[in-house]
Amino acid sequence: MNVVTPMELVLDIFEAMQQPQMRHAAVVHGPIVLSAASAVAGAALAWTGGRHAGVRWTALSVFAALAISAWLAASSGAAAHRELGSISAELRDVIDQHRAMGRYVWIMGVVGAAACGLSRFSVPRIRLASVSVTLAVGTIGAGWTALVGHLGGTAVYRFGAGVAVVEAPASHVEPSGEVVIDPRVVQFRDRVLPVLAKKCMSCHSAGAAAAGGLDMTTMRGLLIGGGRGPAIVPGDADASLLYQAATWTHESLRMPRGGERLSDSSLSDLKEWINAGAVWHVGR
């Protein structure tokens, strides 16, 4: 068993953070946690009527941290969005809504922090108003941020946006010196890829002219999918739109369009490839 040293772990994290999607995934959890904490802080401030200095400063710190983390999340999200390339219209709508709502989270943090600061004044009306604003912003902000997170999760787990795809190595060398070739790579390269290239990729390739908005020339394109969503679900061929269309079991899709159904052997290879994890490798 290989033991990862602390230094190797630090280097792995540093390397991962060079990718916009990974940076966003790391930063985005901050606003989610802090928005929940801000709701609690706002309630505590309201409970004490804004007269307890410790509670007031704690609440102010939480809202300020929320504003900073939400701004960082919005900035990293913009960078991750630029790396997506061609995406389906449905995914674009989800991401646009996610980004639009996300921009307000840091504003809520600023407003909450300002209201916390105003609660220090001894004038009853100012204190009551500031405490009420803090409680409202904290409570509404927690629910708002949860919705933003839900939209982000939908983009990733339903549409595969931002999923890091790494091509599997065609072979590796054992400590004994023996070269072992991954049979999944061989199967994809020799039996699946040629069929996809001949029957599918002429219509489903990168660019605006891709049929259904689906690019089948990369694993990224298959995971993001087209107007109907992801084309494959790695590990589950029966749930994969590509396999349903190829086997003519889908209620409306029959691929290749206008052509004959794939042979039983090709369909078997396709199913086996998807069920084995849909390993993608184009090298020789």
Which pLDDT tens digit goes with each residue over 181-227? 667 777 888 888 888 888 888 788 766 566 777 888 888 888 877 77
Considering only residues 259 and 48, tell me which one the structure prediction assigns the higher pLDDT: 48
pLDDT of 284 strictly over 50: no
The mean pLDDT of the chain is 82
What is the C-alpha to C-alpha distance for residues 269 and 272, in angstroms, rounded to an integer?
Answer: 5
pLDDT of 36 strictly over 80: yes
What is the C-alpha to C-alpha distance for residues 56 and 58, in angstroms, rounded to an integer?
Answer: 5
Q: Are 120 and 52 in contact (CB under 8 A)?
A: no
What is the C-alpha to C-alpha distance for residues 214 and 245, in angstroms, rounded to an integer?
Answer: 13
pLDDT of 67 strictly over 70: yes
Cis peptide before 234 (omega within 30 of 0): no
Is residue 171 classed as helix, strand or coil in its secondary structure? strand
Rounded to a whole number of angstroms, the distance between the first and last alpha carbons of the chain is 30
What is residue 208's predicted lDDT score, i.e. its pLDDT?
55
Considering only residues 259 and 101, tell me which one the structure prediction assigns the higher pLDDT: 101
pLDDT bin (cut points 50, 70, 90) of residue 155 is confident
What is the C-alpha to C-alpha distance for residues 129 and 189, in angstroms, rounded to an integer?
Answer: 67
Q: What angle do CA 83, 88, 89 make, to 5 degrees?
A: 115
What is residue 17's predicted lDDT score, i.e. its pLDDT?
67
What is residue 12's predicted lDDT score, i.e. its pLDDT?
67
What is residue 169's predicted lDDT score, i.e. its pLDDT?
54
pTM for the whole structure: 0.59
Q: Are 84 and 225 in contact (CB under 8 A)?
A: no
The kind and range of the H/E element at 21 are helix 20-27
Q: Are 130 and 116 in contact (CB under 8 A)?
A: yes
- Sign of the torsion formed by the C-alpha atoms of 224, 226, 229 and 234: negative
Burial class (CB in 10 A: 0-12, 13-18, 19+), 66: buried
What is residue 211's predicted lDDT score, i.e. its pLDDT?
77
Torsion of CA 55, 58, 62, 65, to 10 degrees: 160
